[in-house]
Structure 1
Amino acid sequence: MDASGSFRRNTKSKNIDILALGSRCSIMFLFNNGFFSKPDIELNIKIKKSYNRILSVWGQTFFYSVVVGIVLHLIYKTSVIAVFKSFFPFTLNEYWFVTCYILLALFAPYIDLLINQLSSSNLKRLVIILLLLQILPLLLNKIINQLLLAITMYIIGVFIAKNSDSIKKLQMKQVLFAFVFFFLMEILSIFLLAKIGLDFNSLFHFTYFFGAIVIAVPLFILFIKLKPFSNIIINSISKSVFSIYLVTEQFNMRNIIWNKILNINEYEKSPWLPVYGIVVVFCIFCICILFDYLRRLIATGLWKIRFS
């Protein structure tokens, strides 16, 4: 969920540090795909699994885009053109992250094939080069290619997996210190950049890419160093988390939910913004999870009827 676009373009807001820190989960998700990729599996099997994953993601995205588009048209009288656009979520770049993920899934088997041919030192050099490519467009104030970002995060995830033995030797307090240090440095950089008059879009552009990466890496390592566990409730909820993104990032829903329903910009300078944000996120989380659970229940029932 990204509410930053609903705020006035005012870099003097006291809460701008909170608003800008929303892209870590996306980056960690891409890390996760690379980290759990299995290099020993045959290419044909990987390609088949990628296609299955793509079909699943495409189906969910199309469903939510269309349903949300129709509901908003009926309740808030959005235009017929907006409803038409909801039927083409990928062609019209409605969900940039999903589009990048699907493209990444297509390339992933071949990326793994390339990585398997690289030595540890060459893989490290590749990671450094890809990270540098995240900085250079930023300095030139250009929009970073989202697919390049996705591929970079995937390869970093593979790099972390291949060096897991060395990473496990790191103490938890060292990793935690790195996370807190980079987090505080980013907050400081946001205020400094705001003080020198950097415009709103450039400010958020900075925190959404390279700044987000250096924070997401130690945070991801913190999680993989934790003792593995399994919980049936968490596993059940995790199946529906994707729906939160699909609902809240639908191109018409973004404006309606933050500006017309929640009026989030009224709390921009309020000291209660963090509390309000937590309550809002929790409510949206619960509603979307319950709706998606119902969707999966109906889909499972229809599937059983069809093949019974």
Structure 2
Amino acid sequence: MRNSNIELLRIVSMMLIAMFHFSVHGSWPEGGPLASDTAVEMLSFGGKLGVNCFVLITGYFMVHSYLKVQSLLRVVLQTWFYSFAILAIFAVAQPDLITPERLRKAVTPITSGEYWFITCYLALMVVSPFLNVLYRHLSDEGRRRLIIVGFVALSLIPTVAARNPIGSDLVWFFYLYLLGGWLRDRPLWTRRGNALAFAGGVLFVWASMAVIGWAQRALGFSYIGPDYFIWQYMVPTFAASLGLFGLFASWELPPIRWINTAAKGALGVYLIHDNPIMRAWLWPHLAWVYALGPAGILAVGVVSGAVVYAIGAAIDLARIALLEKPLFDWIGHRFKGAFAAANRWMDRLGKTDSN
């Protein structure tokens, strides 16, 4: 039975990511009121927080498990399906949105960077057996030191230095994966500590957006932008991510069927709404929101995140029932022996002894 508390976090994280895309891909005017621009920036904060939580969830479950070939194949086929399907739909409905660059990315969605998260996530899945070996062969003290060194090198230094000299999205995913497993074995903070980390990180980032935005206009400040602290490895966002994850991980929520079902569509929501062709069509339709002022922008942004999730999840659950399940039933029957052998090999790989 799925953990409904973690599955609910998966839903919340994807809604935050959709709100981020509402903010960064919207058709907002230049030089608008500071309050309205700050409201737009505030909605962008949740995206990287959601990404962090998604990878922490992966490590939380997989660091003591092993990669199944079927799981990898599902993500690959799901990505291809939505990339090709959306391309085909808009080739008929609105072909002017299909630029040569978008066409190139749609044809090779995994390697072209059409979905940066999927590219990194698949790489993480492939490397996960080796990360599991590393995790299991470290003592508890060794894991603690790894987490501390990773924090300093990948989060603290980039935050203070205004540059990320050694990090990358994939390296950050590796770190979060190991951290997710560690948090399952050794919760970092109490529930109150998680709440303080989450609230403190959110309030700091939001306040920095307003202050930096004001300094840019009043003083010509240009060293960093208002969105400086939103990126996933920045200390305030990282702290808020750990707090949010910890709150949900410690929540003793009984199994709730609708949450577990809705969460199955989370990755599909991302693949649908953040497709480059789809987002070029979707977000300009909400340009009118800016005229509503800060409160209206925030309200519509939150509602948009919920609506995008509801529609995207409904589409993906239908795809699972009508296409994925029958296909994998056939594949599982046709290649049962091959899958079993590959999974046994993956299991042995993850249990490799250091001797």
Q: TM-score, normalised by structure 2?
A: 0.74
**Per-residue displacement from partner, 1:47-87 (whole Å, max 9, x unpaired)?**
4x2x3322111111111111112212222213363334312
The match for 2:163 is: 141
Aligned mates of 1:234, 1:273 — CA distance in 2? 28
The match for 2:115 is: 95
> How far apart are 1:305 and its partner, in Å?
8.0
The match for 2:133 is: 113
Aligned mates of 1:241, 1:57 — CA distance in 2? 12
SS in 1 for 2:319: helix
Sequence identity percentage: 20
**Per-residue displacement from partner, 1:134-182 (whole Å, max 9, x unpaired)?**
3434524358511011111112112212214x75xx2x33432332122
**Does the CA contact (< 8 Å) of 1:21 and 1:208 recur in 2?**
no
Q: Which of 63, 72, 76 is residue 90 of structure 2 equivalent to?
A: 72
**Per-residue displacement from partner, 1:94-115 (whole Å, max 9, x unpaired)?**
1111111111111111111112
> How far apart are 1:30 and its partner, in Å?
0.9
Matched, 1:157 2:180: yes
> How far apart are 1:35 and its partner, in Å?
1.6
The match for 1:56 is: 74
**Per-residue displacement from partner, 1:189-237 (whole Å, max 9, x unpaired)?**
2223333336698443531222321101011111111114212221111
Q: Which of 197, 206, 217 is residue 229 of structure 2 equivalent to?
A: 206
SS in 1 for 2:254: coil
**Does the CA contact (< 8 Å) of 2:63 and 2:178 recur in 1?**
no
Task: Name the CA shift for 1:199/1:276 in 2 (closer, same or farther; >3 Å).
Answer: farther
> How far apart are 1:292 and its partner, in Å?
1.6
Show the 5 A alignment for 1:38-57.
Answer: 38-39=63-64, 46-47=66-67, 49=68, 51-57=69-75
The match for 1:219 is: 244
Matched, 1:249 2:270: no
SS in 1 for 2:260: helix
Q: TM-score, normalised by structure 1?
A: 0.84
**Does the CA contact (< 8 Å) of 1:258 and 1:264 recur in 2?**
no
> How far apart are 1:27 and its partner, in Å?
0.7
- Give ranges in structure 2 of 5+ residues lacking alignment: 1-17, 335-355
Task: Name the CA shift for 1:178/1:135 in 2 (closer, same or farther; >3 Å).
Answer: closer
SS in 2 for 1:110: helix
The match for 1:262 is: 286
Aligned mates of 2:164, 2:276 — CA distance in 1? 23
- Give ranges in structure 1 of 5+ residues lacking alignment: none
Once superposed, what is the RMSD of the aligned Cα atoms?
2.8
Aligned mates of 1:205, 1:65 — CA distance in 2? 31
> How far apart are 1:9 and its partner, in Å?
6.1
Aligned mates of 1:178, 1:218 — CA distance in 2? 5
Matched, 1:19 2:50: no
The match for 2:12 is: none
The match for 2:320 is: 296
Q: How many residues align?
A: 296
SS in 2 for 1:226: coil
